[in-house]
Chain A
Amino acid sequence: MKRRTLLLSGIGAAGAVVVGWALLPPRERLGGVDALPVAAGEVALNGWIKIAADGAVMLAMHRSEMGQGPHTALAMLVAEELDVALASVRLFDAPPDRLYGNVATMVASVPYFHPRETEPGNETGPAKAGQWVVAKIARELGINLTGGSSSVVDSWEVLRVAAATARARLLGAASIAWKLPLQELVVVAGVVSHASGRSAHYGELATMAAATPSGEVRVKRRNEWKLIGTSPPRLDVVAKSNGSAVFGIDVRPPGLVFAAIRHCPMLGGRPGAVDVAPALALPGVERVVRLGSYGGSAPAFAVVGKTWWHAQRGADALAVEWRQRSAGALDSAAIVAALEARARAAHAADGGFTFHSRGEIAAADALAARHVEQVYRAPYLAHATMEPINCTARVAGGKVEVWAPTQVPGLARAIAAEAAGVAADAVTLHVTYLGGGFGRRLDVDVVGQAVRVALETGGRPVQLVWSREEDLGHDFYRPAGVTILRAGLGADGLPTTLRITSAGDAITPRWMERALPALAGPVDTPDKTASEGLFDQLYGVANQRISHVATRMGVPVGYWRAVGHSHNAFFSESFFDELAHAAGRDPVDYRLALLKDAPRHAAVLRLAAERAGWPGFGLSRPLAGRARGVALHESFGSVVAQVVEVSIVAGKVRVHRVVCVADVGTVVHPGIVAQQLEGAVIFALSAALHGRIDIEGGVVRQTNFPTYPMVRLAEAPTVETHLIDSTRPPGGVGEIGVPPLAPAVANAIFALSGRRLRDLPLRL
């Protein structure tokens, strides 16, 4: 048989789908055989897959593991297509290359498009064109970013095709070497064999495979999946149960010294006179390094010591005369009042930037039977990742080595290079496990600081760790927000008009300035994250105007899990609940009446009502003294409904049970999806019941867990998760459980007590 025939007749015999290249990610996302560094005995088959001498599949891991399970889920995609055991896939840090940039997140942040315009497969012309242009730009930029619930979304096609391409090359090589037709070859656990008795593992075929064209590449059909859709053990569970998992704070290069930090306590302030002598007089303290601003960091002093405790004692001993922000001390209560004034002014005058409008709102308002208008507020919030902010760096001989728990390795590398005054290719970056990210580690401030300190330690590596007090006092906070919602109701109680005006700081322009300055523009462009969850909701209201007033209040703001959705869902889903009650309708029925053109959302809501035993959908009633609340929200391409059951004991809200239903499209690992939904519910509950950052005199009042409390085991509800069967492409998972929780709790509190809480956190 001719070689070409051998190659082309192959995998189709196994019944796989032939996918045209037009439908696949462009070839440049696969990378060439020279895209990866190889050690002796390894062979790269494209920019994602190497084969080790022993036949193991090695995957260039381009996404950070901060708990959401991408290491496992992405390895599953590759193991599926290559027919190897998941546990045998070896992960290594993807090198710095545009190939590993995150396209999906940038496409998702294209503003102005309503979800109705971007429904997969049914995109409108302008949306399709806009997404194509942004995808093109995203590929050029190649920013490697773990966030936006995008790891599987972004890698779903490219990794399966990369693995299928590698498989095709390996089988092609066997076919040529053995002079046997492709369709007679089988693969089991990475061993290619033929009925004649010939067999070889991938390692034995790899060198030849690298020179063998893949031919037409086919990915498995849905009904051929053996791994996708199952829940094998996460790859990181054993290491995370015996203390051996290495987080950023755990790296121990030889000669390591430690550094602690003290930032100017007043946000926007700066240091004046400083006396370092009391610090240097302490045993175990080596030196003090004055730090400017790196990636948005506040001015600070780092103290280097023999252990972190010695360093922190030194930092505590520094006598610094701190100077207040020149534009005046920041005060969160005054900021929230100012936001409300800005929102009210814009609401009255059709001001702000309009993210979505439809219909003729003024005309329809005139016909409305009545109106409901309310003001909602959300506070600043800190991330409080369990692993404190840290980075380890060594600068020696013109080379920089960095170990960082980061969500953005390329940006970390760039700021390390800048801080050390070297070219980016002089920086070697190791991404460790992240002890929580939640968006905090999209910022690289600590990387710049650590490298700066490492310039002073004579070639020895230094590990800079922030105390919890420094973390809570110098975060990039979720912005505070005030939102005014007004609806006109028709005679049937359903809304005919919806006008929403929100006010708050835009995150993306601030983040670009500090983390990606090369791309920051002179003027802020509208930030979709400010209005996401408001302008893109799918209730059928014919006349809408959804606007946002972008402010600059001076408090450092950043991405916090679910970003705009995290508070905007509270505003919108509490408000729709108010409308249902104003109309005298059941909150689930009322929402369903508004979802006639959104069957996917209606199905999620219906299932949640059924599973929770909502009146009319099931039989179970809440126990005496308890009530239920519901909320529905789409974010990151997935739809989630939650029904919560609450009681109030001694003036405190207690959430007992949360039923959580999600449509996340195709599910790669149902166990991880359930785990994420459960965890997000509890993460969101901490924010809903306790979360607030207050700033007085420029200083954050909350300093540590006793004053920035978290839900603990005794306060944790049971969480029941259910997933909708779907053949859509995968949607996001890591953040989607957060948004509906706060409004569902607020709605339950209303059902129980008649009190409508419109401010977060929810306080009776």
Chain B
Amino acid sequence: MEIFVNGAARELADDLADPALPLLWALRDLLGLTGTKFGCGVAACGACTVHVDGAAMRSCTLPIGKLEGRHVVTIEALGSRDAPHPLQRAWAEHQVPQCGYCQSGVLMAAAALLARTRRPSDAEIDAAIDNVCRCGTYPRLRAAIRAAATAMA
């Protein structure tokens, strides 16, 4: 089986590519893309958020069998060291992460939001970023999303 991740077709070993296998584990355990995190397994915390055809989706409950013809983007391809995504710049500017574990998911959710809504309101940010952060980085990540929206305008 093949899935398209970060612009490339990736082959998954047939004996392991059960169509029910959630994308999260294909990414982490078969493809070595560990930036996408496991937090709850029931799509409740958002740590596993990736983009599927540009939309933020929780990969822990998304079977790979439903990915035919669809494009997955993970945190590893959100930006690069030389050209970070405006959100990643804002994350550094606002010193958002503490433990950092949930941040990949938050960044992917925020990037999908900004891709469809150039200047989101607080209510739109609240609705789009439903991720759990135990360290409580919420005030900073809100400020960073606003800053990135301004930078992208």
Instruction: Identify the A interface with B (CB < 8 A).
Output: 66-69, 231, 233-234, 236-247, 249-250, 252, 258, 283-284, 306-310, 312, 384-388, 433-438, 465, 467-468, 671-672, 675-676, 678-683, 685-686, 704-706, 710-714, 716, 718-719
Contact = CB atoms under 8 A, between A and B. Distances in A.
Please report whether the interface of chain B is mostly helix, strand, loop or mixed according to DSSP: loop
A706 B42 contact: yes
Given A67-B99, A307-B21, A307-B29, 20 more contacts: A237-B92, A237-B95, A238-B81, A241-B92, A243-B104, A283-B18, A308-B29, A312-B41, A387-B39, A387-B99, A388-B38, A435-B37, A672-B95, A675-B95, A683-B135, A686-B134, A704-B40, A705-B40, A712-B129, A713-B138
A436 B101 contact: yes
A69 B41 CA distance: 28
B100 A67 contact: yes
Contacts of B100: 67, 236, 239-241, 245, 247, 433, 435
B135 to A, nearest CB: 5
Contacts of B32: 252
Given A240-B103, A283-B15, A683-B134, A388 B95 contact: no
B16 A284 contact: yes
Nearest to A672: B95
Nearest to B33: A243
Given A309-B21, A436-B135, A705-B44, A68 B98 contact: yes
B111 to A, nearest CB: 12
Contact of A233 (B36, B38, B95, B135): B95
A685 B139 CA distance: 14
B147 to A, nearest CB: 13
A712 B45 CA distance: 10
A66 B134 CA distance: 11
B56 interface: no
A308 B38 contact: yes
Interface in B1-46: 15-16, 18, 21-22, 24-26, 28-30, 32-42, 44-45
Given A242-B75, A679-B98, A712 B30 contact: no
A716 B136 contact: yes
Contacts of A243: 33-36, 74-76, 78, 104
A253 B141 CA distance: 33
B40 A468 contact: yes
B69 to A, nearest CB: 23
Contacts of B102: 386, 435
Interface in B124-146: 125-127, 129-142
B20 to A, nearest CB: 9
13 contacts: A236-B97, A237-B91, A238-B81, A241-B96, A243-B33, A283-B16, A307-B21, A307-B28, A385-B101, A387-B37, A435-B100, A704-B42, A706-B44
Contacts of A240: 97, 100, 103
Contacts of A284: 15-16, 18
A705 B104 contact: no
A384 B40 CA distance: 10
